[in-house]
């Protein structure tokens, strides 16, 4: 799969004779001498499937003819002592066979080698702005290649951002990638079902957070695709609430936004359910509006439909529901025009999903929304949030926060909900709450 991604990107690079230098992430210090758990950069992973730090991929399209070009992976040498302390390394000898790259070289020689590698190319793909040290070194490489131009060699004149082309490739998921996202979604399903089953009044958000995390990890996922949001009661009105340390109270809702990552491919799911297993009238009223908005938006998702129209379908449904409950005044058109709904619905309805939870790819170009095509994956995640401090509404509505989020694949003739197995209707959610905690799936 990664070799195929490289082949496609090299093919694109060969149309302009552009070389590419794509480093992975750096290890990041967490505190003192401890690092955060390492995660490769998504672009680098997409092109290599290689998860060690201190690595860089160099892609060199064929300048002479229409050959496939060359891939050189720079990585760390084997080092017995470092491996005893910090973990195994693939090493230079094993890398070409294991990863399918044409050549493997020591990362220590990257900056020294690059002027030679890039000689003859006029343009090199390199994303600046992420790491000042790398940017400076790349500037020196360019200067070194330009100096050679006096010898009659074509000068390397520009550094270009690779994101538009590479990110277009990443936007369309191949079957193997869809399988990985399916796997992430299966684990996520298990986690949400387990959370519904285990939650009870008097527990703490952190216990459910731990159960979700445990479910992700015991199934061998690469971890959570983003920080889990486990938000009881009014905490659900904080969109990216991650403290996850409050008591879960009888009569409140619990919003869980959590998705497993499989092989660095994401899932992204939100469910909202009653801590005591039964929605009260106000909670059910809000929940049913969000559910209807979500189902209508999903139903609308198909090839040929614009991405923005999914949001518009959901928004209209939410606004009509809020007006119906007396929480907003005026006609739906007036409310949408004045954006008075943003007190209750401050975000949009979805985003691309893939290696990054908020994945790459254009949403619009030249003012027009993107048209959906098979192979795209995105979330549909409407919500309604009544701030606990909102004095403009009756007290009974305050502190209710509901979001429902699923992951959608556009297929040739419509869509597939990759997370359809997670309880969602009022009846299914109430039945899942307090049910026996499921045994881990083998």
Contacts to Mn ion by CB under 5 A:
257, 268, 379, 381, 405
Angle of the 163-171 helix axis to the 2-16 helix axis, nearest 10: 140
- When asked if residue 381 is in the footprint of ligand GLY (CB under 6 A), the reply is yes
Nearer to ligand GLY, 2 or 226 (CB): 226
Least distance in Å: CB of 271 to Mn ion? Answer: 10
- Token reading at 233: 């009661």
- Between the alpha carbon of residue 211 and those of residues 186, 193, 218, 277, 350, the distances in Å are 16, 11, 10, 18, 26
The DSSP annotation for 258-314 comes to --EEBTTB----EEEEETTS---HHHHHHHHHHHHHHHHHHHH--TTSBHHHHHHHH
Spatial neighbors of 201 by CB under 8 A, at least 6 apart, are 248, 249, 250, 251, 275, 276
Least distance in Å: CB of 381 to ligand GLY? Answer: 6
- Token reading at 223: 């971890």
Q: How many C-beta atoms lie closer than 10 Å to residue 241's C-beta? A: 21
Which of 252, 257, 406, 430 touches ligand GLY by CB under 6 A?
257
Q: Are the CB atoms for 215 and 438 separated by under 8 Å?
A: no
> Which residues on neighbouring strands pair with residue 414, listed in sequence order?
411
The DSSP annotation for 409-434 comes to EEETTEEEETTTTS--SHHHHHHHTT
**Interacting residues with ligand GLY between 42 and 81 (CB under 6 A):** none
Nearer to Mn ion, 24 or 222 (CB): 222
Nearer to ligand GLY, 190 or 356 (CB): 356
**Interacting residues with ligand GLY between 298 and 357 (CB under 6 A):** 351, 357
The 3-state DSSP class for residue 330 equals coil
**Interacting residues with ligand GLY between 354 and 373 (CB under 6 A):** 357
What DSSP designation does 343 have?
G
Site string for ligand GLY, 84-113 (x = CB under 6 A): ------------------------------
Q: How many C-beta atoms lie closer than 10 Å to residue 367's C-beta? A: 5
Least distance in Å: CB of 396 to Mn ion? Answer: 27
Site string for ligand GLY, 212-241 (x = CB under 6 A): --------------x---------------
Nearer to ligand GLY, 6 or 403 (CB): 403
Q: Give the C-alpha separation, 386 to 396, whole Å.
A: 10
Which residue's structure tokens are 């890039």? 118
Which partner, Mn ion, ligand GLY, none, binds residue 221 by CB below 5 to 8 Å per kind?
A: none
Least distance in Å: CB of 381 to Mn ion? Answer: 5
Nearer to ligand GLY, 226 or 363 (CB): 226
**Interacting residues with ligand GLY between 261 and 300 (CB under 6 A):** 268
Active site residues: 33, 240, 257, 268, 347, 351, 358, 381, 385, 403, 405
Least distance in Å: CB of 226 to Mn ion? Answer: 7
Least distance in Å: CB of 442 to ligand GLY? Answer: 28
What DSSP designation does 150 have?
G
Q: Are the CB atoms for 10 and 59 separated by under 8 Å?
A: yes
Least distance in Å: CB of 379 to ligand GLY? Answer: 6
Which partner, Mn ion, ligand GLY, none, binds residue 226 by CB below 5 to 8 Å per kind?
A: ligand GLY
**Interacting residues with ligand GLY between 116 and 135 (CB under 6 A):** none
Q: Give the C-alpha separation, 379 to 239, whole Å.
A: 16
- Which residue in the shown chain puts its C-beta closest to ligand GLY? 257
Nearer to Mn ion, 69 or 350 (CB): 350
Nearer to Mn ion, 356 or 381 (CB): 381
Terminal-residue alpha carbon distance, the chain: 26
Which partner, Mn ion, ligand GLY, none, binds residue 407 by CB below 5 to 8 Å per kind?
A: none
Q: Which residues bind ligand GLY (CB under 6 A)?
A: 226, 257, 268, 351, 357, 381, 405
């Amino acid at each position: 799969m990664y070799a195929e991604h490289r082949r496609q990107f090299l093919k694109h690079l060969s149309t302009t004779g552009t070389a590419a230098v794509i480093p992975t992430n750096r290890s990041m210090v967490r505190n003192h001498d401890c690092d955060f758990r390492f995660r490769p950069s998504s672009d680098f992973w997409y092109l290599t499937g290689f998860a060690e730090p201190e690595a860089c991929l160099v892609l060199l399209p064929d300048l002479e003819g229409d050959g496939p070009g060359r891939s050189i992976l720079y990585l760390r040498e084997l080092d017995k002592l470092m491996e005893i302390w910090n973990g195994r390394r693939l090493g230079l000898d094993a890398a070409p066979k294991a990863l399918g790259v044409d050549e493997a070289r020591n990362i220590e020689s990257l900056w020294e080698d690059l002027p030679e590698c890039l000689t003859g190319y006029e343009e090199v793909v390199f994303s600046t702005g992420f790491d000042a040290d790398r940017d400076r070194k790349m500037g020196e490489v360019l200067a070194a290649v330009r100096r050679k131009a006096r010898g009659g060699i074509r000068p390397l004149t520009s550094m270009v951002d690779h994101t538009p082309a590479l990110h277009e490739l990443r936007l369309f998921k191949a079957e193997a990638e869809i399988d990985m996202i399916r796997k992430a979604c299966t684990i996520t399903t298990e986690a949400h079902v387990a959370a519904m089953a285990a939650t009870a009044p008097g527990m703490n958000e952190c216990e459910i957070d731990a159960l979700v995390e445990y479910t992700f990890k015991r199934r061998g996922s690469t971890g959570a695709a983003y920080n889990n949001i486990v938000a009881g009661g009014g905490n659900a009105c904080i969109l990216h609430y991650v403290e996850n340390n409050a008591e879960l109270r009888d009569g409140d809702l619990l919003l869980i936004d959590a998705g497993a990552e499989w092989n660095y491919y994401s899932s992204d799911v939100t469910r909202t359910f009653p801590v005591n297993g039964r929605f009260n009238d106000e909670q059910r009223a809000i929940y049913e509006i969000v559910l209807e908005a979500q189902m209508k938006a999903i139903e609308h998702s198909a090839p040929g439909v614009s991405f923005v129209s999914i949001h518009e379908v959901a928004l209209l449904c939410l606004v009509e529901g809020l007006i119906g409950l007396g929480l907003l005044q005026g006609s739906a058109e007036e409310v949408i025009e004045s954006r008075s709904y943003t007190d209750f619905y401050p975000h949009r309805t979805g985003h691309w999903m893939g290696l990054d939870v908020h994945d790459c790819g254009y949403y619009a170009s030249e003012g027009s929304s993107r048209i959906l095509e098979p192979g795209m994956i995105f979330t549909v995640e409407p919500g309604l949030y009544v701030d606990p401090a909102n004095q403009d509404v009756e007290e009974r509505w305050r502190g209710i926060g509901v979001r429902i989020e699923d992951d959608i694949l556009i297929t040739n003739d419509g869509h597939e909900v990759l997370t359809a197995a997670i309880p969602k209707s009022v009846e299914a959610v109430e039945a899942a709450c307090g049910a026996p905690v499921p045994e881990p799936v083998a």
